[in-house]
Amino acid sequence: MPRSRPQKRATSHDVAALAGVSQSAVSRAFSPGGHPLIAEPTRQRVLAAARELSYSPNPIARSLNTGRSAIVALILGDLANPFYGQVLQRFSDVLQGMGRQLLVFTVPARADADEALRRVLSFQVEGVIITAAQLSTSMARTCMDRGIPVVMFNRYIPSLDAACVRCDNHAGGGAVARAMLAAGIDRFALLTGDAQATASNERAGGFKDVLRAAGVSPGAIIERACPTTYEGGFVAGRALGRSRRRPRGLFCVTDITAMGAMDAIRFDLGLRIPEDIAVAGFGDVLESARASYRLTTLRQPMEAMVLHAVRLLSLDERTPSVREQVVLPVDLIFRESLVAPVASMRTDQAG
Amino acid sequence: MPRSRPQKRATSHDVAALAGVSQSAVSRAFSPGGHPLIAEPTRQRVLAAARELSYSPNPIARSLNTGRSAIVALILGDLANPFYGQVLQRFSDVLQGMGRQLLVFTVPARADADEALRRVLSFQVEGVIITAAQLSTSMARTCMDRGIPVVMFNRYIPSLDAACVRCDNHAGGGAVARAMLAAGIDRFALLTGDAQATASNERAGGFKDVLRAAGVSPGAIIERACPTTYEGGFVAGRALGRSRRRPRGLFCVTDITAMGAMDAIRFDLGLRIPEDIAVAGFGDVLESARASYRLTTLRQPMEAMVLHAVRLLSLDERTPSVREQVVLPVDLIFRESLVAPVASMRTDQAG
DNA sequence: GTGAAAGCGCTAACAT
DNA sequence: ATGTTAGCGCTTTCAC
């Protein structure tokens, strides 16, 4: 194939000329929904001409006067946590299916986040999905002030009147506590993440509430915070495993920290899971099901969460975005790191 | 904070009025490089006015007449492979630092990839980075025909005259073979990925070439292909571990399949690694260093690869993008899944 | 050095 | 139902 010169794209004028209609007719032929009045035969003539020139409307020009692009911004937290990779994939697939593309914004370590966010918004994005804990409040406010639909994904900021999709973190934490109690565990450890992260707090809260209600004394619950990373979990897990009165059950508010803790407990400390310490996580990332971990954890209905988040953006409607709070149920998946007390409870056998 | 009404952004006209200059002066004040002629004092007046109105140029309007946006497209393969999450993160960080944003394109399962790619390109992206194996040839051609700079990241298509950054896959495969030979291994298995993926073929080729040169008979090398996923590796690893003449050394062309194979070998088959079967991977994703795996693997210089890829895009220069082939060295990292033959070889102790 | 003016390719009134 | 016209906010000649 000879290297053809950069061919300039055909414009609506070219198509109009070829089809023998006005330029605006071309615009109408391509306007989504078929809303504007155009006769079907004309439309077909235009589309034929367009096909011949392999024309498609220039989205840049389009968004210059509509004020909306076909772009949705995704503000990402830490991609070392596989959860966010999976989230990104789902969002991208779904939005692409709706004719939208994802513009990614990774929160920079340095403080120039604000400038970069401005740049993202200046693409006249149709909506913003926030999955990062850092800066999310101010970012959300910036967007809302500009009238851009915002959805908080798995983070909840009570003071902020923004749409939000999350799962029932509190109930999930409670379910772990109940499972541990049923397993006869009497000494507990709780590994939380960032203190500002509401998800972490809610999960921890649900766990402690159930234990407290069951009469467990606060002295029997060790609580520690660590970074939401494998290494964070590793270090914290090692420390917990070494503590004087070693906990029998460890609840980590994130799968990734749970995996770090498990590796420390087994390989650094030489203890067995669940015999010496039972471990539970939260999130059910792909890795948790692996034979190396078999982590008992709370499955988040990610598919549903993504779909709800996209819905709340109200991309195709004329109506403003919905400031709705969606809370979805989680599902305790028993694997080997914390075994189900009775045979009838749900288990997962997949490798 | 009262919900303020969606405030409309200030335009260059507003700034011009406030600064007492013409609109074109504002444009010049913001033009990158300071290339166009504008007196420094004027520039300062404009910038001050801009700050007051918190103005920044509208990139949509800008790209409508420059024909280039501040957007780079990233075509992503499978995000279940953690490698790509890490790649995405680095690209986004680097490009954001250069004032660019990443537009993500995930290759859809269905056949409408072409339409979606068209849409991506129609944003007048300044460059395209291709990390997906699927369709990459046709996609690259589409871009090149339109004069959009393309960089193939970790995939090489000889028939395609496109810029390309990859690591020395062949040498890496050879290094594994040598390490296995030095460890006294005499029966080998090779787990390849997609037959179309050049990276996979090169790694496998390097491995086999060294073995052959060392006089290993082809009969002592079992070769199998599997999907480049954890599950693919698990299934294939199990089959290999069960084979009549069990291999003593297993080279998987990707870390993720190596981890799957390791889990099958240890937890499904009850064999020991490396005593019964030594395993090596390729890539050195974060997970490979974990205590659960301690996978001996080839470290790709991801940071350098990303930087080179961005450079080849020639974003800031007037010159067209460079159709250069960059091949970077890989580094065999010894961990416990395949031990170094002599104490002096490089090892990695990190948890 | 600075301003005026002509578009970039499209959408959305406004006519007809 | 179709064509005409006026912008969207900017960059870029072209005069001065």
Measured CA to CA, the distance from residue A59 to residue B60 in angstroms comes to 10
Instruction: Tell me whether B70 touches chain A (CB under 8 Å).
Output: yes
Shortest-distance nucleotide from B41 CA to C1': C1
In B158-177, the residues whose Cβ lies within 8 Å of chain A are 161
**Residue pLDDT, tens place only, B199-217:** 999 999 999 999 999 999 9
Output the pLDDT for position B143. Answer: 86
Using pLDDT thresholds of 50, 70 and 90, give the confidence band for residue A38.
confident
Q: Which residues of A touch B237 (CB under 8 A)?
A: none
Q: pLDDT class for B303, splitting at 50, 70, 90? A: very high
**Partners of residue A76 in chain B, C-beta under 8 Å:** 89, 92
CATH number attached to the domain at A169-299+331-349: 3.40.50.2300
Does residue B76 carry a pLDDT above 60? yes
Contacts of A34 (CB under 8 A, 6+ apart): none
Give nearest nucleotide to A39 (CA–C1').
D1
Q: Which two tokens stand for residue A277?
A: 């310490």
Model confidence over B9-45: pLDDT tens digits? 899 999 999 999 999 999 999 987 656 678 888 999 9
- Provide the shortest C-alpha distance from residue B65 to chain A (in Å): 9
- pLDDT tops 60 at residue A322: yes
Q: Which two tokens stand for residue A350?
A: 């997949």
Secondary structure (3-state) at A31: coil
pLDDT of residue A195: 84
Q: What is the pLDDT of residue B91?
A: 96
What SS3 string covers chain B?
CCCCCCCCCCCHHHHHHHHCCCHHHHHHHHCHHHCCCCCHHHHHHHHHHHHHCCCCCCHHHHHHHHCCCCEEEEEECCCCCHHHHHHHHHHHHHHHHCCCEEEEEECCCCCCHHHHHHHHHCCCCCEEEECCCCCHHHHHHHHHHCCCCEEEECCCCCCCCCEEEEECHHHHHHHHHHHHHHCCCCCEEEEECCCCCHHHHHHHHHHHHHHHHCCCCHHHEEEEECCCCHHHHHHHHHHHHHCCCCCCEEEECCHHHHHHHHHHHHHHCCCCCCCCCEEECCECCHHHHCCCCCCEEEECCHHHHHHHHHHHCCCCCCCCCCCCEEEECCEEEECCCCCCCCCCCCECCCC
Judge whether residue A30 contacts strand C, using its CB and a 7 Å cut-off: yes
- A298 pLDDT band (50/70/90 cuts)? very high
Report, in ranges, which bases of strand C sit under 7 Å from a protein C-beta: 1-5, 7-13
What pLDDT, on a 0 to 100 scale, did the predictor assign at position B343?
53
**Cα–Cα distance measured from residue B128 to residue B318, given in angstroms and rounded to the nearest whole number:** 17
Domain B71-167+302-328 bears CATH identifier 3.40.50.2300: yes
Distance to chain A for B210, nearest Cα, Å: 32
Give mean pLDDT, residues A296-322. 89
Q: Residue ranges of the domains in chain A?
A: 71-167+302-328, 169-299+331-349
- Residue bearing tokens 């974003």: B315
CA of A43 to C1' of C13 (A): 21
pLDDT at position A344 over 70: no
DSSP β-ladder status, A127-130 and B101-106: unpaired
- Residue A5: the pLDDT is 45
Rounded CA gap, B121 and B179, in Å?
45
Q: What are B128-169's pLDDT values in tens digits?
A: 999 987 777 888 888 888 888 999 998 888 888 889 999 999
Residue A35 has pLDDT above 90, yes or no: no
Strand pairing report for A163-167 and A188-192:
unpaired
A vs B, Cβ pairs < 8 A, gives 183
Kindly write down the DSSP assignment for every residue of A297-329, as one continuous string: EEEP-HHHHHHHHHHHTT-SSSSPPP--EEEE-
Determine whether the distance from the CB of A32 to the nearest atom of strand C is below 7 Å: no
Q: Which two tokens stand for residue B299?
A: 């470290």
What local confidence, expressed as pLDDT, does residue A343 receive?
53
- The predicted-structure confidence for A113-140, as pLDDT tens digits, reads as follows 777 788 888 888 999 999 987 777 888 8
List Cβ neighbours of A320 (8 Å cut-off, separation of 6 or more).
A149, A314
Question: Which residues lie below 8 Å from residue A96, measured CB to CB, with a gap of 6+?
Answer: A102, B105, B106, B108, B116
Mean pLDDT for chain A?
Answer: 89
For residue B346, pLDDT over 80 is answered with: no
pLDDT at A172 over 50: yes
Q: Where are the alpha helices (DSSP H) in chain A?
A: 12-19, 23-29, 40-52, 59-66, 82-97, 113-121, 136-145, 169-182, 198-213, 230-242, 255-263, 302-312
Overall average pLDDT of the A35-58 stretch: 88
Structure letter (DSSP) for residue A342: S
CA distance B293 to B236: 17
The answer, yes or no, to whether residue A350 has pLDDT greater than 50, is no
> What count of residues does chain A have?
351
How much of chain B exceeds pLDDT 70, in percent? Answer: 92
CB atoms within 10 A of CB A2: 4
Q: Is B19 exposed, middle or buried (0-12, 13-18, 19+ CB in 10 A)?
A: buried
How do residues A5-29 score in pLDDT, each as one tens digit? 456 789 999 999 999 999 999 999 9
The Cβ of residue A131 has, within 10 Å, a number of other Cβ atoms equal to 22
- Identify the pLDDT of residue A2: 39
For A79, which of B56, B86, B101 is closest by C-beta distance?
Answer: B86
- Nearest residue on chain B to A112, judged by CA atoms? B97
Residue B113 has pLDDT above 80, yes or no: no
Instruction: Determine which of A172-176, B24-28, B118-122 has the lowest per-residue pLDDT on average.
Output: B118-122
User: B169-299+331-349: same fold as B71-167+302-328?
Assistant: yes
Looking at the complex, report in whole angstroms how far the Cα of residue B95 sits from the nearest Cα belonging to chain A.
Answer: 10
pLDDT tier for residue A4 given thresholds of 50, 70 and 90: very low
Chain A residues with beta carbon closer than 8 angstroms to that of B75: none
The single-letter code of the amino acid at A166 is: R
pLDDT of residue A36 exceeding 80, the answer is no
Asked if the model's pLDDT at residue A345 lies above 80, the reply is: no
Closest CA to A73 of A157, A149, A163, A166: A149
Indicate the pLDDT class of residue B83, thresholds 50, 70 and 90: confident
Measure the CA–CA gap between A226 and A242, rounded to whole angstroms. 16
- A6/B147 touch (CB, cutoff 8 Å), yes or no: yes
Q: Which of A80-89, A281-290, B230-239 has the lowest mean pLDDT?
A: A80-89
Name every chain A residue with its beta carbon within 8 A of the beta carbon of B124.
60
Residues of B in contact with A232 (CB under 8 A): none
pLDDT of residue A341 exceeding 80, the answer is: no
Give mean pLDDT, residues B238-253: 95
Q: How far apart are the first and last CA of chain B?
A: 47
Contact: A292, B293; criterion CB under 8 Å: yes
A72, A91, A106, A293, best to mutate vs chain B, most B CBs in 10 Å:
A106
Q: How are beta strands B150-153 and B163-167 bridged, if at all?
A: parallel
Report pLDDT for B351: 41
The residues in A 221-260 lying below 8 A from B, measured between CB atoms, are 230-231, 234, 259
Identify the CA nearest to B74 among candidates B13, B16, B135, B132: B132
pLDDT digits (tens, 9 = 90+) for A97-118: 888 999 999 987 766 677 778 8
Name the band, by pLDDT with cuts 50, 70 and 90, for residue A332: very high
Nucleotides of strand D under 7 angstroms from a protein beta carbon? 1-5, 7-13
pLDDT of residue B270: 97
Supply the pLDDT for residue A318: 66
The distance (Å) linking the CA of B56 with the C1' of D7 is: 21
B269 touches chain A (CB under 8 A): no
**pLDDT-derived band at B228, boundaries 50, 70, 90:** very high
What is residue A80's predicted lDDT score, i.e. its pLDDT? 80
Residue B225: band (very low, low, confident or very high) from pLDDT cuts 50, 70, 90? very high
A328 within 8 A of A164, measured Cβ to Cβ = no
Q: What is the mean pLDDT of residues A311-337?
A: 89
- Give CA separation, A250 vs A233, A259, B197, B272, in Å: 11, 12, 43, 28
Is B97 in contact with A108 (Cβ distance < 8 A)?
A: yes
What pLDDT is stored for residue B136 in this prediction? 79
CB contact under 8 Å between A104 and B99, yes or no, is no
State whether the beta carbon of A58 lies below 7 angstroms from any atom of strand C: yes
Taking the CA of residue A322 and the C1' sugar atom of nucleotide C15, their distance in angstroms comes to: 38
